[in-house]
Structure 1
Amino acid sequence: MSTPPSPPGAAQADGTSIRIGALVPLTRPGWVEAGRHLLAGLELAVHEVNDAGGILGRPLELVVRDTAADPQRAAAAVDELAGLGVTAVAGEYHSVVARAAATRADALGLPFLCSSAVLDALTEQPTPWVARLSPPQSRGWQLYADFLLGAGHSRIAVATQPSVYWAAGTRILRDYLAPRGGTVIELDMPALNPAAVCDELADQRATALLLLVGHPEPAVPIVRSVRRDERLAGLMIGAPAGQPEFAEWAALLGDDGAGVPFLRYLPERLSPLGARVETALRERLAEAPSFVAFEGYDTIAVLADVLRSHGADRARLAESWPRVAVEGTRGQVRFSRTPGISVWQWVGTPIQVVDRDPGEPGRFRVLHAAHETS
């Protein structure tokens, strides 16, 4: 009796796969488009690992759970995944959700490599179990504040909704701008409709409005109202959290969505690996990949390298964070301890302030950038 040959390059499983849990927002109120890109990056990297023979002959298996931007749902998913025997958990886009997942992973002794959430305090206390690829919110948003000051903005309004993430962003901006002559004016969105926002902006003589709110609601109606208000013709709209990165923003807003600066975590030029992955992601997504897709790919690249070197034991994997040195799509990934950050942190993440070109909304312009070597 003969068995059919395995596909070329396929992992020769010994009967067991190495399971990685993946937390991704795939349904509303989660940011579904971000979740789709994150999952595309994770899946592409898993596919490539398995095509190359897997991890010492064992295939990687991605066990996906939809968080729907719900912290309690994410924590429950971490419990479930731990019970299913995953070696590690990866992913998540929403910071408040990632915080719940990180807290639960820490309590269970389950390694968690966070792909895309930026909230500085992912856990209340320092933990050896959690590492992160995306930059801390404080670093990215301070760079954004530098951009605002350099562009001549000192009276900055923030339209904000109740959230630990938005509150942290407002605090970072205020603490950074105040000593440098900047003023932050808070607009409480649950109490204001878009027309009232325009009135406040005019009364307060703001020169910039930052959207610290959900997408598409209420971000899209606010942009439309501001763009159509003659009193606010010179006002800059900004979205540091990255809403304009995705195609849905451009589809909903058209030309109104151009010229809205946001934070993006890509280098000035992709490496040869990054360029190859960009092509593969574009085919998988049928559109240009966002930085979130690259974050997903790099997450699996790091975990695969660690698994090859240290095996699938959870404790050994977590102990390996400070020894990671992996070439990702956006630079070499190394983790270290950073003051004020409770998890192992990649400090070399590239950060850009980018917008859609008003003359060609499908093209992105880099307005400001910073990169710390890892």
Structure 2
Amino acid sequence: MRRLRMGMIGGGPGAFIGPVHRIAAEMDREIELVAGVFSSDAGRSRAAGESYRIDPARAYPDLDTMFAAEKAREDGIDFVSIVSPNHHHLPAARAALAAGLPVISDKPATTTFAEAKELAGHVAAAGLPYGLTHTYSGYPLVREARARVAAGQIGTVRKVVVEYPQGWLAGEAVGKQAEWRVDPARSGPGGCIGDIGTHAFQLTEFISGQEVTEILADLGAVVPGRQVDDDCTVLLRFSNGARGVLLASQIEVGEMNGLRIRLYGDKGGMVWKQEVPNTLTLHTLDGRTEIIHAAGTQIGPDAASRTRTPTGHPEGYLEAFANIYRDFAAVLRGEEAPLLPGIDTALRGMAFIATAVEASNNRAGWVPLTV
């Protein structure tokens, strides 16, 4: 079985996420990065190609050149990975799909909900796979949590609390990674809510198995002069009547990447923390607490199939990211990967961002979340 050939869009010099995508995609030896338009600047694109150690002739200056050249090759790319800032996502995906190439993209899918609906139309018209890298749903114990909730282990879900605190934007936004995230022309109207709030939102629905139907949002731009939100509090109501709270912030000094989710049902509760990702804590009504370990004998088949080392050998972010790429590779090979976030997840995420921003700006109280 040959490796699938990947073309990357974005990920040029100074980008954090490009190398992460490359490592994750290649981890299981099913995919190989062979080409890319790594920057809108031809020289920087060539420099990135050198750093990725690909054929210099396949570090292209623009998308049209890459698509034409790769189509003419017998060993041309099989799909593209979009790792550029948000405002590039729609035009890059649209061009790739028009060229007959499946797409996997960083989140959020686009800058606005209207763009997401346009993207969904292009995906449907092309009839090609589309994946979204909601990395945290690739963690084995997140998938174990989802399976246990679906099996009724904590009973009917009553309450979901998800927190995603960071502190890296508590001051002036300095550097390439920070600057575009606080620029609404590049990030879209949602700042923190789009950057990390959308991860927290996706995780609530992914694990609980319920859809959010209404929200009450309070988003703020705390740092003086900032044009997009950097601190978010959102109350949630779910399709089964459960209530929830989503807290996302990038101004909490001292916090790093403290994503945590807690779910409570009528029979028990569970807790998972991204910074301690290899344990899942379960509580029962009779007062017992159980710790589930990644790769342990008590985990189910999906979680077990997504671990690479024996229990006690920590796996983390890169391995979770690789699981998303493994799922996408399976889809490209004609296999099923039902847990891969796709265009439906993209639409729900963008609807959440748009609804939260508008509702907070208008102080609208509870508003429906519709896609």
TM-score, reference length from structure 1: 0.41
Greater helix proportion: 1
